[in-house]
A and B are shown apart, each in its own frame.
Chain A
Amino acid sequence: MSHSASHPAAGSPAGSSTARGIALGAGLLVLALVPLMVGASPYMLGLLISALILAGLALSWALLGNLGGMVSFGHAAFFGVGAYASALLAARLNVPVLLAIPIGGLFATLSSLAMLPALRLSGPYFALAILAYAQIFRILATELDWLTGGAAGLQRFPSLPTVFGLDLSERAGSYVLVLACVVLFALVYVVIRRSHVGTALRAIAESEDATRVVGVNATVLKTWMLLLSAFIAGVFGALNAHIIGFLEPDYAFSGIWSVMPIIAAVFGGYRTVLGPIVGAVVIYLFDQVVAKSLIPVGHQILLGIVLAVMVLVAPNGLSGLVARLFPRSEKHHAEA
């Protein structure tokens, strides 16, 4: 449903980037309205909320991968830090939830600062460094039980409030809020990509040395992408925490939150804005509805296969396939 709803945008032929931007917004809006209009069951809405949380996470992963040229195997760290920071701020310091969520994102940004020395490492080493780094926070959250409640988890923290008569803690309200955040960050992504910063980042991806020579500080730009990516991941971690109302280290910092965005973004096409979002919805529903019923334990094996096949057969993901079927004239594929 959501898949087909957003297809027109992904496959819009030719057209200026503005037209595609509008199509993107329209596609997402349709996506927003369909479940509410058809009165989807609470179960279905719940699935879609989780899928959109994953979409936000996949978007933040793709932003780092596409604009920053870095593969992250550790987005679970940012997701978990955002979740814990927001929940603890709301519970212990009575920070309003809607304020605590972006502050949670800022904490995730803060945690990504520890990754900065790894930016000096080249591609594969950065990927491995962040893989190792993600483990630290899960262990910390388990061990610092005076702060986090330890392995037992954190249960009593406020849920989302009611704003302008819309109860955000209800499924429909949560859905609208999460969707709004996905759209907001997708727009931020588009704005950055069109800006001078985006141009410079594309140039860095082509040749970092050549870019340095003309006076672009590649490290600073990559740093900004890492900080922003961590912020977005943290915000969605926080949203997820307040929606499900429960946190434990093995859940909040689960490797799932590192693995799923990669699969979603690669499946949808991580060099596009819409790809990770569509990919997340498709992959999440596939995992929950199909894979889990086929193989209750170890269903991730199917996701692994999907990821391997996509990298080998269609490294540019669904959007790459769509572009191959409806070729656009004179468009660079990395910009599609």
Chain B
Amino acid sequence: MTELVLQALFSGVLIGGVYALVALGLALAFGAMRIINLAHGELVLLAAYMAYLVESRTGLDPYFAIPLALIVVGVASWILFLLVDRIKDHRELNSLILTFAIGIILTNAILLLFASDVRTTSSAFLQDAVSFGDVYAMRGELIAFVLALVLMGVLWWWLKSSWYGRAVRAVSSNRGAAQLMGINPTRIETVSFLVAGALASFAGIALYTMSVVQPATGHALTVKAFIITVLAGVGSIPGVFLGAVLLGLTEALTVTFASSALQELAGMVLFLLVLFFMPNGLFGARARRG
């Protein structure tokens, strides 16, 4: 019994790393442009299918797909930005509908190109079990988790120390003032969409190596990223990470003690509870009220 709990907790934390990457990408694009990219989960999905493409065609390890995924998802994210940037009227509402439409297009394009089958890595190296006393993990899960931690560290450093990162924060907090300081907001928005695309690329490949993907996964990921945002607020990287781990734990415990069919439901219930009782998020981040 304890072993089951420990195993569920361990798996939950590991998937939480990838969830955090997905949620951070969503938050980054939102911060800069005040626009929620409903196609963000589909960008992650696109990267996962690039990993599948490389692995199934060349037999290489999925992580060799990183350059391809960065290019494809980067271009997709950039096009997405250019399209969203064209919207002038009722920007908030129309951009939601537009990114939703792009999500539909991407999901169905993936469905057309790769069929609806469930895909995951066939690499024996990544699927090997590693034991830590009583709990086990796939090597792929561990690599993905470490990768997620490293990327969060890099992102934290980038936002804190680099000129572009600071400019992104400046535009997020006050667009007009940032512009007066000589920052070109459009350029910064482009950069934040590209960085969000890069995060999505790594998240997608990591997801492919530790879990399964299918065309419907993209939409589910967008929902998960949103649930995490509600749990954590859009404030900080550590907050998003904690929210992501909490979601991962909730899902893993539900699968262990109830059924895998209820996995998504557990996330929703958590989400509704927070929405009802702690509308400012678990970690007291900035208000989201209208």
Contacts and interface: CB of A to CB of B under 8 A. Distances in A.
B261 A300 contact: no
A118 interface: yes
B97 A311 contact: yes
A48 B226 CA distance: 37
A307 interface: yes
A311 B101 contact: yes
B36 A124 contact: yes
Nearest to A309: B101
Interface SS of chain B: helix
B275 interface: yes
B146 interface: no
Given A114-B272, A311-B101, A315-B94, A143 B226 contact: no
Nearest to A69: B93
Interface in B201-224: 219, 222-223
B147 interface: no
B129 interface: no
Interface string A100-114: 000000000000001
B36 A128 contact: yes
Interface stretch (B103-111, B119-127, B160-168): B103-111
Contacts of A308: 83, 98, 101-102, 105
B182 interface: no
B94 A133 contact: no
B177 interface: no
Interface in A27-79: 65, 69, 71, 73
Interface string B250-290: 00000000000110110111011001100100000000111
B108 A266 contact: no
A255 interface: yes
A305 interface: yes
Contact of B272 (A71, A125, A133): A133
B112 interface: yes
Contacts of A114: 272
A301 B101 contact: no
B114 to A, nearest CB: 11
Contacts of A184: none
Contacts of B268: 132-133, 135-136, 139
A121 B229 CA distance: 13
B37 to A, nearest CB: 10
B83 A312 contact: yes
Contacts, number: 135
Given A132-B271, A308-B98, A312-B98, A298 B105 contact: no
A312 B102 contact: no
Nearest to B289: A120
A123 B93 contact: yes
A114 B273 CA distance: 11
Contact of A128 (B94, B226, B272, B279): B226
Contacts of A266: 97
A127 B101 contact: no
B90 interface: yes
Contacts of A307: 97-98, 100-101, 104
Contact of B112 (A73, A121, A255, A298): A298
A287 interface: no
Contact of A208 (B100, B264, B265, B290): B290
B290 A123 contact: yes
For chain A, which range describes its interface: under 10, 10 to 19, 20 to 34, or 35 or more residues?
A: 35 or more
Given A123-B290, A124-B36, A303-B104, A255 B86 contact: no
Interface in B69-121: 83, 86-87, 89-90, 92-94, 96-98, 100-105, 107-109, 111-112, 116
A83 interface: no
Given A132-B223, A266-B97, A123 B92 contact: yes
A121 B105 contact: no
Contacts of B222: 131
B138 interface: no
B32 interface: no
B100 to A, nearest CB: 7
B35 interface: yes
A295 B112 contact: yes
A297 to B, nearest CB: 7
B227 interface: yes
Contacts of A120: 279, 289-290
A259 interface: yes
Contact of B104 (A123, A135, A304): A304
A129 B265 contact: no
Interface centre among B30, B92, B265, B267 (most CB of A within 10 A): B265
Contacts of B219: 255
Nearest to B26: A128
Contact of A122 (B97, B267, B289): B289
26 contacts: A117-B272, A120-B279, A120-B290, A121-B289, A121-B290, A122-B289, A122-B290, A125-B36, A131-B223, A131-B226, A132-B223, A135-B265, A135-B268, A139-B268, A255-B219, A262-B97, A297-B111, A297-B112, A300-B108, A301-B109, A305-B101, A307-B100, A307-B101, A311-B94, A312-B83, A315-B87
Interface of B: 30, 35-36, 38, 83, 86-87, 89-90, 92-94, 96-98, 100-105, 107-109, 111-112, 116, 219, 222-223, 226-227, 230, 261-262, 264-265, 267-269, 271-272, 275-276, 279, 288-290
**Closest 4 pairs (CB-CB, A-B):** A122-B290, A304-B104, A301-B108, A307-B101
Given A121-B290, A131-B38, A136-B265, 8 more contacts: A69-B93, A128-B226, A129-B230, A131-B226, A300-B107, A304-B105, A305-B105, A307-B101
